[in-house]
Structure 1
Amino acid sequence: MDSDGSRIMIFAITALVLLLLRGYYVACETAVTEISDAKVKSFENEKGQKKILYRLLENTGQLMTAFSVWRVLSTVAIAYFWFNAFSEPLAEKIYNLRYPEAVSFPDTSWYALCLGISAVLVIFATVLVITVFSERIPKRLAMKSRNGTFAVASAGTVRILVVFLLPVTAISSLLTKLFLFIFGITEDNGREIVTEEEILMMVDACNETGELEESQKEMISNIFEFDDTPVSDMMTHRMDIDAVEINDTVTDVVNLAISSGRSRIPVYEGTIDSILGFICVKDLLCLVGCEGVDGFTIKNFLRDMLYIPATNSCGEAFKLFTDNKAQLAVVVDEYGGTAGLISMEDLLESIVGNIQDEYDNDEEEISEISEGVYMLDGTAEPERILEQLGVTLPEDHEYDTIGGLVVDILGKIPDENETATVRYKNIEFTVLVVEEKRIAKVKAVVLPEEEGQ
């Protein structure tokens, strides 16, 4: 083997060894960062590899700097050795495509172009190989290691890397602190922050791999949406409020509580836009067995009501509830009228989903009558229902119910005896029941795509 062949072989083998080492330490970094704080804490009184790992993670900054420096150094070294091993031989091969018999390179312009082409090809191949074999695959393999077994097993070799790179990491840390000082940034402010988007991406990834159930994923997503969800999306609309008038009797309150299953009954004066407070049904228990109940009025049991602007988010409403130790509030629109009612239970349902109790109506918002045919509640949320039917709504829609969607397409409120039919994409909606100028029941038929167009 000639000297050029030996050089190419040595450079190629060196680059391959560095590639394997780089992949190994990328896997180590992934395993170390995936291990939980509680698991690391349990290693405090252990010996051997577990103790080594515990001490390494006591100085996480130095450890992460060592990993970062190694990734950069190894990447540069791999690129250097592969470039020197393959760029010139590849350039010669390309040159010979035009001059097959050439043993020298008299056409310097063509040879320079060949060198440029070979450099691009070698760099592209290097990036591809490093990304696949020294980044993605090692990370995936390390993530399959449960309970920190790989992190513990690799602790000794990680310590060797940290000690070996100590001079470089020390200089790197000093330079970092110097430039942070120059730019007026404290070291704490420069620490890595995990954003909401990154957490949601991790949640999606865990859901795709089966590590997180769909209900858990939805709950986590709802937590992040909590501060952005307006109370108007979660409230009971004014048309659905069960309330009594201030001049009604205590017996009227009891009857309404029994029929509606409500434990807190709003009290209004004149119209529902003037809610004075509410009655807690539990307060009426003192009247059980008493004579002269008719002598008591609603005013004797009236409690103060909390009022919340309709523009408030669920997060803001939750703070008002906790600050005022309240369970029920009136949602007030911009004109001072009653938009609806919202309870602490409604806010919790925006995170965990529907909470059924013994008084709730078990009627489903959507039920399948036959294949492709569904019965829908007219007050159901359109996004959730249509998602189950395989279609989506535009983000700028202005309706909050399935009934609102039908009215928007139809252009009018159907009469009580009218059977109106409309289409949205490949869904055909038929109005079945209209009550008090509101669509109560809708039949939905999922049509084939070409038929629904």
Structure 2
Amino acid sequence: MSPEWLLLILVLVLIAANALFVAAEFALVTVDRPTITRMADEGDKRATSVGKALKTLSTQLSSAQLGITVTSLIVGFIAEPSIATILRGPIEATGLPEGTSAAVALGLAFLLATGTQMVFGELVPKNWAIAEPVRVGRAIAGPQRAFTWVMSPLIWFLNGSANRVVRRLGIEPQEELASARSAQELGALATRSALEGLLDADAARRVTHTAELTERTAADAMTPRPRVEFMDATDPLADVLTLTARTGHSRFPVLGEDVDDVVGVVHFKHALAVPLAERAGRTVADVIRPVAAVPSAMPLDAVLGALRDGLQMAVVVDEYGGTDGVITLEDLVEEIVGEIEDEQDRPIGRHRQLGSDSWSLSGLLRPDEAGEITGVDVPEGEESDTLGGLVTEHMERFPEVDDEVVLEGRDARVLDEVGLPTPARVTLRVTRLDGHRVDRILMSVEPLEEEDEDDG
């Protein structure tokens, strides 16, 4: 066998090695870690090897890249001249001049070597590793880790040099790939699963809302102070039952000296437990219970911990120590599953659908609450928390009846059944005032085409 054919066999071996390194690189990056951990716990030794490789991911990737670089350089160095030498004879036999035959042979050799290396050494292993990362990872983890061990001095030097450059840029290198998902990533995964039919649309929304608990705060879910029914500590005990009958609520925050002095919470069952003959001489102060206080900036997952005990209500306190509102366990549940009504809830007329694309809404609704009702996604105000505040913010003055604010383009979206936004034109018209406060708003929605959005 001629030396050229021996060199071609070596080239094929090097392309196979290059394919192994490429497969290792993509498999280790895309493999599902929980799956590997579960398989390793069940005694799968190859999965255990993959897990060990993942713990030194940066080093393993440096090793794979070193292997890819070295094999590619060697393939390029020996493949083209070997193939050109083999092709030169047949090409000269066609009658082409010697110089022309050499040039044609070299050109064909370049195309054949590059194409073979690209397809079989790069693209095939990459696509295979992305399609079956667990299977490929289990197959290549052992050889990959062995190569890393053999080449560890050189890899340590090269990786260390790269890390020093990265640190100069103000970034701390990481050995492992971060496996935690952000709320946005979890929401995107849930939405994609719903679009592909793998997850129910309602379940996708619940997953998204649950993930967002860590990014939303008590101020986002609370009932604002103007909407809270307070009681004074000196009120007659019978007033608790009267207020419960009127509002349908079962517990009320109790004030001391002023609205910023919430001294506790009273539940109607505690008032009801007092014998009827004794109620006339008793006050709310006799049956109040302690109430938790949480800062308005506390994340909702932390608020949940504070509400697990006691009467499932907490006072939300602003940065100045004043009462911002109250938050209940039901408020948190509604952040996940949407509005909840039970037999004790009374209709309070906060919203009414007037047509397929218009609603009468309370100005005290938050934009996200309005979105749950209407399926319309409007932005939160920079300095306001409610729809009425959003209108006031856009008007830059106290609104009057029939004042309108139009939101469109990136400021307004209609949410489809799985929560994906499409452009819309949303009109908010003031229909009723309570003093300077916007009491009622008429929301009208007009879907937009993408071209209309771009024109806006």
> TM-score higher than 0.5 here?
yes
Give, in whole Å, the separation in 2 of the partners of 1:202 and 1:134. 29
- Give the unaligned 5+ runs of structure 2: 85-95, 165-172, 409-424
Give, in whole Å, the separation in 1 of the partners of 2:360 and 2:119. 53
1:140 lines up with 2:140 in the alignment: no
Q: Residue 426 of structure 2 aligns to which amino acid in structure 1?
A: I
Compute the displacement of 1:409 (Å).
2.5
Q: Partner of 1:169: helix, strand, or coil?
A: helix
Give, in whole Å, the separation in 2 of the partners of 1:396 and 1:173. 57
Q: Residue 128 of structure 2 aligns to which amino acid in structure 1?
A: P
Compute the displacement of 1:400 (Å).
1.5
2:188 to 194, 198, 204: 204
Question: Match for residue 238 of structure 2?
Answer: 251
Compute the displacement of 1:432 (Å).
3.0
Q: Partner of 1:407: helix, strand, or coil?
A: helix
1:330 lines up with 2:315 in the alignment: yes
Compute the displacement of 1:396 (Å).
6.8
What aligned pairs does 1:150-165 form with structure 2 within 5 A after superposition? 150=135, 157-158=139-140, 161=143
Shift of the 302–319 alpha-carbon distance from structure 1 to 2, 3 Å rule, reads: same
Whether the 8 Å CA contact 2:428–2:441 is kept in 1: the answer is: no
Whether the 8 Å CA contact 1:11–1:82 is kept in 2: the answer is: no
CA RMSD of aligned residues (A): 5.1
Question: Match for residue 288 of structure 2?
Answer: 302
Give a deviation string over 1:298-345, Cα, whole Å, max 9, x none: 2211222333333444355445546x7562222233444322112233
Give, in whole Å, the separation in 2 of the partners of 1:196 and 1:60. 18
Give, in whole Å, the separation in 2 of the partners of 1:72 and 1:202. 34
Q: How much identity, in percent, do the aligned residues show? A: 19
2:272 to 285, 310, 320: 285
TM-score, normalisation: structure 1? 0.67
TM-score, normalisation: structure 2? 0.67
Give a deviation string over 1:81-107, Cα, whole Å, max 9, x none: 1464349999xxxxxxxxx98939xxx
Question: Match for residue 96 of structure 1?
Answer: none
Question: Match for residue 146 of structure 2?
Answer: 166
Number of residue pairs aligned between Structure 1 and Structure 2: 406
Whether the 8 Å CA contact 2:15–2:120 is kept in 1: the answer is: no
Compute the displacement of 1:236 (Å).
0.8
Shift of the 72–32 alpha-carbon distance from structure 1 to 2, 3 Å rule, reads: farther
Q: Partner of 2:128: helix, strand, or coil?
A: helix
Q: Residue 424 of structure 1 aligns to which amino acid in structure 2?
A: L
Give a deviation string over 1:265-324, Cα, whole Å, max 9, x none: 122246433333221222123235x424212222211222333333444355445546x7
Question: Match for residue 99 of structure 2?
Answer: 103
Shift of the 427–208 alpha-carbon distance from structure 1 to 2, 3 Å rule, reads: same
1:379 to 355, 364, 368: 364
Question: Match for residue 264 of structure 1?
Answer: 251
Give, in whole Å, the separation in 1 of the partners of 2:243 and 2:279. 17
Compute the displacement of 1:438 (Å).
2.9
1:420 lines up with 2:403 in the alignment: yes
Q: Residue 281 of structure 2 aligns to which amino acid in structure 1?
A: G
Give, in whole Å, the separation in 2 of the partners of 1:364 and 1:11. 80
Compute the displacement of 1:346 (Å).
2.8
Give, in whole Å, the separation in 2 of the partners of 1:198 and 1:87. 52
Whether the 8 Å CA contact 2:404–2:429 is kept in 1: the answer is: yes
Give, in whole Å, the separation in 2 of the partners of 1:361 and 1:448. 37
Q: Residue 431 of structure 1 aligns to which amino acid in structure 2?
A: V
Shift of the 372–295 alpha-carbon distance from structure 1 to 2, 3 Å rule, reads: closer
Give, in whole Å, the separation in 1 of the partners of 2:351 and 2:402. 19
Question: Match for residue 400 of structure 1?
Answer: 385
Give, in whole Å, the separation in 2 of the partners of 1:167 and 1:140. 22
Give, in whole Å, the separation in 1 of the partners of 2:8 and 2:396. 77
